[in-house]
Structure 1
């Protein structure tokens, strides 16, 4: 299972969600950069923005899958035991 492997390698839910928001920002940056930097104009800039923008749902889905995995496979800890004060 891919999600299990990614979790074992250290990827957490927060990492995937951070990548989601970063890809949204990167989408805007690539669109604007392509719009200003390439002679091809708006059509190519739109394609670059859409291409990078499609990463966000994939990262979000990965974050959800990791969240479910972490919830279902969380290590169980025994309930804390009550300690009685020591007698002097």
Structure 2
């Protein structure tokens, strides 16, 4: 039901795929920027990189579901 509503609202599978690849890039950028930090903030930055990295599979799954909705 939710996927159908998103599709009807104009949200395309390509948008979800773009979000997935953007989150991968953002995750890498966050991780590498945390490597340059000194002190206690480094661990927190690493956790942010991991957190953002978990978005990619969610966006990919959403993209696949939307693609299936578009084809039906």
Gaps of 5+ in 1: 73-88
With normalisation by structure 1, the TM-score equals 0.72
Q: What CA deviation, in whole Å up to 9, does each residue of 1:11-46 have, x standing for no partner?
A: 101111011100000001122233435632542232
Moved more, 32-41 or 56-65: 32-41
Q: Matched residue pairs, number? A: 72
Q: Cα RMSD over matched residues?
A: 1.7
Task: Name which one, 1 or 2, has greater alpha-carbon Rg.
Answer: 1
Give me the whole-angstrom Cα distance separating, in 1, the residues matched to 2:35 and 2:41: 6
Give me the whole-angstrom Cα distance separating, in 2, the residues matched to 1:52 and 1:5: 26
Gaps of 5+ in 2: none
Aligned partner of 1:78 in structure 2 is none
Q: Of the two structures, which has the highest relative contact order with CA contacts closer than 8 Å and spacing of 6 or more?
A: 2
Give me the whole-angstrom Cα distance separating, in 2, the residues matched to 1:57 and 1:40: 29
Are the aligned partners of 1:31 and 1:46 in contact in 2 as well (CA < 8 Å)?
yes
Q: Which has the higher helix share?
A: 2
Aligned partner of 1:69 in structure 2 is 69
